[in-house]
Amino acid sequence: MRRSLLLAALVAPLAVLSLPHPLRADVTLSVRTPMSPPAWALLERELLRANAATCREFFERYFDERGYLRCVERWGGDDGPDDAIENCTDWPLLHALGASDTVLRLYKKAWEGHLRQYTAARTKDVPFAREGMYFKEFPVMFDWLHNSEGLTPFNLQGLSDPYDRLFRQRVRRYAGFYLNEDAGAPNYDPRHKIIRSLFNGSRGPLLRKATALDWAGDPIEVQNRFRLGHAERSYKEMLEHFKDYNDIIGDHPLNLLTTSLALNAYMLRHEDKYRRWLLEYVDAWRQRMIDNGNLIPTNIGLDGKIGGACGSKWYGGVYGWGFSVLIPQTGATAHRNLHARGFIGFMNAYLLTGDDRYLDVWRKQIDTINAQKKVIDSRAMYPTMYGDKGWYAWVPQPYTRNARELYYLSMRSGDRARMGPDRWAEYLEGKDDSYPEDALRADLERVRRRVQGMRADMTTPDTRLADDPLPFGKANVVSLVELVLGGIYLDRNAAVLHCRLRYFDPARHRAGLPEDVAARVEKLTADAAVVTLVNVSQLDARTVVVQAGGYGEHEFLTVHAGDGKVAVNGTSFTVRLSPGAGARLTLPMRRYVNPPAFAFPWDRKGALEQEN
């Protein structure tokens, strides 16, 4: 039998009723308390609008009618296919926050065009891309610093568009390249639990040393034509930039970014093979960290041994702990240690399990590195690199890589202490009330600068590389992820969304805040969230569905409004906001207790169990 409960608000009537509803939500809150639109709410709505308008202008300027980027197509780490679609970074996320449907439509047109464009694009000299830079709609073989940047928009498409047939097919195909479901792409060694090369993809792993040509791409005219991202002045300097990027055989923490593909595939229909593979691979890396004294190694040989392809050096390999190279233009040393990006894989495992063992090895790594502190010229200094002579590249700041993400997942005070100063965290602790408006205004300023730069851009399609428009294309959503979703923003790492709350519009049957609705997450703890919802429209009522977690992985216990509460015991509830109404809701919850799923709240009870 359905319950009916009326709760009294402190200042005005707030009816909280359990009513029959087409969304099958067990609880619907009717909010009638007037709330004059706060500045933060108006700023959120304007940021959504301005971002969407900028995306439209960007698409019209830089993409053609086929969805092709108007640029010179190239392969390489300087400028390549990943940079082309990286121009649409966070467009799917922007739509999932509540921006115009036009944003999703334009992203999908760009993605379809991108796949066709770079399947047709070929190299002359780089051997493995001569038949196409993409094969089976996926990079033929490259490192996951670059692959992840190019796949970031696609990996978030499921937030708004999980029912799209092509999306679902591609999610499975992409994951299959790492589950050895494609005989032409034997990337994974199940015996040693490794991905066999830093270069991998739809044509499998590259099992030889890489050359500068593999990284830099075919010869290209530079002077008086292109402005290269690494400031090289000639193709010769491009080759010199990559001359030491050789040791790619064997596994590297960057390959942990592939786990987002398996996670996306799992969230379609909860096929256990994807979950098993993801946890098997992350578990293997976790054990390597333990075996290596709480430090993640950056090379695992084809024999499965730490440092096995780099003379037994755990710190070896391209993008490893000891990877310091010379900048050809200046002769200065650049330290390019990218092990920390592998934490994305551990975040994915935690999303699936809520098991702290996936976090504990990383907090021990932070502590192990900071324990190397020494005093140099009367200053406490901390290392960032490790080579043949031990620790080096000392800096005056403690090592904090992934400390913010670690705290966000655990919500433990000890992990908060590892972060150091952080305005968002301080705001959630009640110490920085000005943060929301400051953050939203800063993102609006970034939108203004994007448009200003785009309109001043003098490049033409034959003098434009794929990464030239990057400063103008990426949506500015960091403040919205933090404040609207209570989420942590992960930049261009092919990551899924990690957040405490999401919103859906039942009237338009889509993801995102309904028109005129704004949300501000004010507090997060391990077992609760506090959010204010407001309808800035003074004329029309709005209805919003609130979900626990980005993919329903959390569960609401109750909803507290004013001095009343009602039980939820589910992944979502509905709020009906009268014109100009708002309310502050406290949401006790259990985290990481449900299998994450792409299904919208009204479909969560099995609609996605069937193939589209």
In whole angstroms, give the CA distance from residue 484 to residue 490.
15
Q: How confident is the model at residue 605 (pLDDT cuts 50, 70, 90)?
A: low
More confident residue, 510 or 4: 510
User: How far does Cα 391 stand from its chain's mean position?
Assistant: 31
Rounded to 5°, the CA angle 412-417-419 comes to: 100
Task: State the angle between helix axes of 272-291 and 259-269 in degrees (0 to 180), rounded to the nearest 10.
Answer: 150
pLDDT at 611: 41
Q: Mean of the pLDDT values across residues 44-58? A: 98
Residue 248 has pLDDT above 70, yes or no: yes
pLDDT at 2: 35
More confident residue, 207 or 610: 207
Q: How confident is the model at residue 604 (pLDDT cuts 50, 70, 90)?
A: confident
Of the chain, the percentage scoring pLDDT greater than 70 comes to 94
Nearest to 230 by CA among 332, 328, 303: 328
**451 touches 433 (CB < 8 A):** no
Q: Mean of the pLDDT values across residues 219-248? A: 93
CA distances from 520 to 156, 243, 334 (A): 22, 49, 40
pLDDT at 347: 98
CATH code that applies to domain 14-33+500-609: 2.60.40.1180
Q: What does the pLDDT look like over 96-154, one tens digit per residue?
A: 999 999 999 999 999 999 999 999 999 999 999 999 999 999 999 999 999 999 999 99
Burial class (CB in 10 A: 0-12, 13-18, 19+), 414: exposed
Residue 267 has pLDDT above 70, yes or no: yes
Q: How confident is the model at residue 606 (pLDDT cuts 50, 70, 90)?
A: low
Q: Mean of the pLDDT values across residues 50-68? A: 98
Residue 252 has pLDDT above 60, yes or no: yes
pLDDT at 566: 94
Residue 20 has pLDDT above 80, yes or no: no
pLDDT at 231: 87
pLDDT at 13: 38
Q: What does the pLDDT look like over 407-453, one tens digit per residue?
A: 999 999 999 999 999 999 999 999 999 999 999 999 999 999 999 99
Residues forming beta bridges with residue 194, ordered by sequence position:
189
Q: What does the pLDDT look like over 481-509, one tens digit per residue?
A: 999 999 999 998 999 999 999 999 999 99
pLDDT at 230: 83
Q: How confident is the model at residue 26 (pLDDT cuts 50, 70, 90)?
A: low
Rounded to 5°, the CA angle 543-548-550 comes to: 100
Q: How confident is the model at residue 303 (pLDDT cuts 50, 70, 90)?
A: very high
Q: Mean of the pLDDT values across residues 380-396? A: 98
Q: What does the pLDDT look like over 521-577, one tens digit per residue?
A: 999 999 999 999 999 999 999 999 999 999 999 999 999 998 889 999 999 999 999
* Weakest mean pLDDT among 1-5, 25-29, 115-119, 420-424: 1-5
SS3 590: strand
Q: What does the pLDDT look like over 452-463, one tens digit per residue?
A: 999 999 999 999
The residues, any chain, with a CB within 8 Å of residue 61's CB and separated by 6 or more, are: 454, 457, 469
The residues, any chain, with a CB within 8 Å of residue 566's CB and separated by 6 or more, are: 5, 7, 16, 18, 27, 29, 558, 559
Nearest to 364 by CA among 411, 315, 414: 414
Q: Report the predicted TM-score, pTM, of the whole model to 2 decimal places.
A: 0.95
pLDDT at 21: 35
Residue 17 has pLDDT above 90, yes or no: no
Q: What does the pLDDT look like over 328-340, one tens digit per residue?
A: 989 999 999 999 9
Q: Mean of the pLDDT values across residues 83-94? A: 98
Residue 406 has pLDDT above 50, yes or no: yes
- Return the domain boundaries, the chain: 14-33+500-609
Mean pLDDT of the chain: 94
Q: How confident is the model at residue 229 (pLDDT cuts 50, 70, 90)?
A: confident
Residue 309 has pLDDT above 60, yes or no: yes
